Chains A and B, each alone.
Chain A
Amino acid sequence: MLKIDNLSVKLEEEDKQILKGVSLEVPAGKVHAIMGPNGSGKSTLSYVLAGRDGYEVTSGSADLDGEDLLELEPEERAAAGLFLAFQYPVEIPGVGNMTFLRTALNAQRKARGDDEISAPNFLKLIREKAKSLNIDMEMLKRPVNVGFSGGEKKRNEILQMALLEPRMCVLDETDSGLDVDAMKLVSDGVNALRNEGRGFLVITHYQRLLDHIKPDVVHILADGRVVASGGPELALKVENEGYSDILKSVA
């Protein structure tokens, strides 16, 4: 489904190589985790996949079901089925959360050639999705992420994911800033979306998220490269031994 091949990326503004030939493939229905120390390039990978400005791809490719993601505008990637849950969801004063969600859903439907969803149907849909994530309607009426707590912001990300039903979900440090209860709520939201047709790439610094969202494969990213891949036990090894031992053992 998501195929990243030998992807190398530098910062546009400065001559700094961040990713140095990352390759991995997430098949439909699978959850892959990427772990790695700070500065290893995890967030850069997520931003490059989603199409944020400021990065230059120097080599390699990233395809979603054979479609070259790197050629597309961010909104086209979204329409193609890619979703990035942000580590730091953006506050947008003056834009109502509800308006935002509806505009996003309709934009994607339009891009796929579907009709726009009617206001009553949208309301019904959003109520149903919000309820399972413990999001009250009051929160939906506020401006996008403005004044939201850390947990509310992350739940709002998962709500968007549930609403937009992407085929490929990239979660960037979704556990950061969450207490245990909030992490469970968010993880349950993610797990509810797991199905045969959907792939997940879960980026995290800590193993604890992976107790809740069980990965099929774990990759260790260090200094812009995947230095180790394995089963869930690799995450436990990180937890027990820290990154430095693993990095030494692969060096």
Chain B
Amino acid sequence: MNQDVKRRAAEAQLSAMPLPEAEASWAREARAAARTRLLEAGAPVRRDEYWKYTNPDALTQPLAAVAISDDPPALHAGALAGQGALVRFVNGTLREDLSDSLGGPAKAVTTLSQALSQDISIAREIFGALEAAGQEKVDRPLAALNTATATEGLVIQVTGEATPMHAHYQQIGEGSAMVHHLIRVEAGGSFTLIETGVATNTVLEVDIAEGGAFNHIRTQTGDRDAHATHLFARLAEESALKSFTLTADGSLTRNEVVMDLVGDNASGHVAGAILAEGQTHTDNTVFVTHTGVDCESRQVFKNVLGGTAKGIFQGKIYVREGAQKTDGYQISQAVLLNDGAEFSAKPELEIYADDVACSHGSTTGALDPTAMFYLQSRGVTRAEAEAMLIAAFADEAIEEIEDEALADLIRDEVAAWMAKRG
């Protein structure tokens, strides 16, 4: 019964989006497989265990693709403006006329629409494949919806030390804007992707070969409708991933990170700083799978919640049989600035190897009143003392960013949020 409802909702979502046309047969097959995944799983509903803390209704409305806009507003990239080669997505469409050139040393870049109409091997190997693998233990229907219908994104093959790229999303008007990126970091390559702005539904599939490094810095700021993101990553031997997201306010944000440390000695770090006031809802859901031996993973999430803001963290470390010497760590913390704010955390460990070290922790509380008094007793105003303690709290997530200059820009973004808060 419930499954029927879920399936019908998924069908409605699919039929609201136009079917992508003129694609290569492998792409059509990948789309069809994604549609099947979506219909079998059905759209998420509140009763799903994975959506216990976040009502998905705002994310499962059958929205048509938002109309293409000729006249995009000015860039709104905040403190990260000017970082990386800019690629602008307006209503889910890549606007090459408003973007920097897509090339650059040590990487080959094409657009998703081009890649899906041709026979580009990395696209064929990755598109929908990491997303499908990420559904092994838990349904992620919004990601399957994206694979089935998203028409644009970047396809990046990194062959050496590549310069950063910056995807900026904007949406004008009602409707759905989907973006789907594919990234392959070849052996020994390194690459940083910056994402700013917000699209309704983004999927990032990242395949990191031996010794490769992928850094991901993302800000989600400003007024916006409900949106969901997925990062699927596969890490080969001795590769490294670091992903950081700053989320400021937002009616409903669901960020899922799904990574599998497949090769031995890989390292995956996921961090987030959440600053939210008013009626906002921010859900960070992370699923880390340890498959290889001697891998290290780290999840650090710091929530600053005021007003009636809700913060959610669902974090799982799944250690497969044979993934010995796994070092898994997870911490989620929240500072509640007043009584109306709420934080829920669901840490999970599922371990099938016997020689592992996994730990998790979660705390919720107010700003330390003793520290507040100490600062105030030195003449620091209440607002300034709060700002200092909030910045210090959020900094534990920001410190996870590899590039110190980008970390400082994120600190500026945090300061700007607090200044606006007053």
A66 interface residue per 8 A CB criterion: no
B379 interface residue per 8 A CB criterion: yes
B81 interface residue per 8 A CB criterion: no
B373 touches A107 (CB 8 A): no
Which of B376, B377, B380, B392 has its CB near the most chain A CB atoms (within 10 A)?
B377
- The closest CB in chain A to the CB of B396 belongs to A94
Tell me how far the C-beta of A30 lies from the nearest C-beta in chain B, rounded to whole angstroms: 23
A104 touches B392 (CB 8 A): no
A14 interface residue per 8 A CB criterion: no
Given the known inter-chain contacts A100-B375, A104-B375, please indicate yes or no for A92 contacting B380, CB distance below 8 A.
no
Chain B residues contacting A50 (CB-CB under 8 Å) are: 373, 377
Residues A52-111 near B (CB distance < 8 A): 52-53, 73-75, 77-79, 83-84, 86, 89-90, 92-95, 99-100, 103-105, 107-108, 111
Chain B residues contacting A53 (CB-CB under 8 Å) are: 369, 373
A100 touches B388 (CB 8 A): yes
Tell me how far the C-beta of A141 lies from the nearest C-beta in chain B, rounded to whole angstroms: 15
Cα distance A111–B380 in the bound complex, in angstroms: 10
Residues B122-148 near A (CB distance < 8 A): none
B23 interface residue per 8 A CB criterion: no
A204 interface residue per 8 A CB criterion: no
B378 touches A164 (CB 8 A): yes
B370 interface residue per 8 A CB criterion: yes
Q: Is the interface of B mostly helix, strand, loop or mixed?
A: helix
Tell me how far the C-beta of B366 lies from the nearest C-beta in chain A, rounded to whole angstroms: 12
Given the known inter-chain contacts A74-B373, A90-B370, please indicate yes or no for A79 contacting B379, CB distance below 8 A.
yes
Cα distance A146–B282 in the bound complex, in angstroms: 32
A199 interface residue per 8 A CB criterion: no
From the candidates A83, A95, A108, name the one contacting B388 in the complex (CB within 8 A). Answer: A95
A187 interface residue per 8 A CB criterion: no
Chain A residues contacting B379 (CB-CB under 8 Å) are: 75, 78-79, 104-105, 107-108, 111, 164
Given the known inter-chain contacts A90-B371, A107-B384, please indicate yes or no for A51 contacting B392, CB distance below 8 A.
no
A75 touches B380 (CB 8 A): yes
Chain A residues contacting B376 (CB-CB under 8 Å) are: 51, 73-75, 78
Given the known inter-chain contacts A53-B369, A75-B382, A100-B388, please indicate yes or no for A94 contacting B377, CB distance below 8 A.
no
B393 interface residue per 8 A CB criterion: yes
A95 touches B374 (CB 8 A): no
Chain A residues contacting B396 (CB-CB under 8 Å) are: 94
Given the known inter-chain contacts A90-B370, A90-B374, A94-B395, please indicate yes or no for A103 contacting B382, CB distance below 8 A.
no
B375 touches A94 (CB 8 A): no
Tell me how far the C-beta of A99 lies from the nearest C-beta in chain B, rounded to whole angstroms: 8
A92 touches B389 (CB 8 A): yes
- The closest CB in chain A to the CB of B387 belongs to A103
From the candidates A51, A75, A92, A94, name the one contacting B381 in the complex (CB within 8 A). Answer: A75
Chain A residues contacting B393 (CB-CB under 8 Å) are: 94
Cα distance A93–B374 in the bound complex, in angstroms: 13
A89 touches B392 (CB 8 A): no
B391 touches A94 (CB 8 A): yes
- The closest CB in chain B to the CB of A166 belongs to B379
Chain B residues contacting A83 (CB-CB under 8 Å) are: 377
Given the known inter-chain contacts A52-B373, A90-B370, A92-B371, please indicate yes or no for A78 contacting B392, CB distance below 8 A.
no
Cα distance A89–B374 in the bound complex, in angstroms: 8
Tell me how far the C-beta of B197 lies from the nearest C-beta in chain A, rounded to whole angstroms: 29
A160 interface residue per 8 A CB criterion: yes
- The closest CB in chain B to the CB of A84 belongs to B377
Residues B376-414 near A (CB distance < 8 A): 376-382, 384-385, 388-389, 391-393, 395-396
A51 touches B384 (CB 8 A): no
A103 touches B392 (CB 8 A): no
Tell me how far the C-beta of B300 lies from the nearest C-beta in chain A, rounded to whole angstroms: 13
Tell me how far the C-beta of A156 lies from the nearest C-beta in chain B, rounded to whole angstroms: 11
Tell me how far the C-beta of B311 lies from the nearest C-beta in chain A, rounded to whole angstroms: 19
Chain A residues contacting B392 (CB-CB under 8 Å) are: 92-95, 143
From the candidates A78, A92, A95, A105, name the one contacting B377 in the complex (CB within 8 A). Answer: A78
Cα distance A244–B393 in the bound complex, in angstroms: 48
Tell me how far the C-beta of B114 lies from the nearest C-beta in chain A, rounded to whole angstroms: 46
Cα distance A78–B385 in the bound complex, in angstroms: 14
Chain B residues contacting A73 (CB-CB under 8 Å) are: 376, 382
A103 touches B388 (CB 8 A): yes
Which of B379, B395, B396 has its CB near the most chain A CB atoms (within 10 A)?
B379
Chain A residues contacting B384 (CB-CB under 8 Å) are: 103, 107
Cα distance A10–B382 in the bound complex, in angstroms: 24
Cα distance A105–B396 in the bound complex, in angstroms: 26
> Ordered nearest first, which 9 A-B pairs have the shortest CB separation?
A94-B392, A78-B379, A104-B378, A74-B376, A108-B379, A90-B374, A107-B379, A75-B376, A95-B392
Query: Could you list some 10 contacts between A and B, CB below 8 A?
Result: A50-B373, A51-B373, A75-B376, A77-B377, A90-B373, A95-B389, A104-B375, A104-B380, A105-B379, A108-B378
Residues of A within 8 A of B (CB): 50-53, 73-75, 77-79, 83-84, 86, 89-90, 92-95, 99-100, 103-105, 107-108, 111, 143, 160, 164
Beyond known contacts A74-B376, A86-B374: 15 more, CB 8 A cutoff: A50-B373, A50-B377, A53-B369, A53-B373, A75-B376, A75-B377, A89-B374, A90-B373, A92-B388, A94-B389, A94-B395, A103-B388, A104-B380, A107-B379, A107-B381
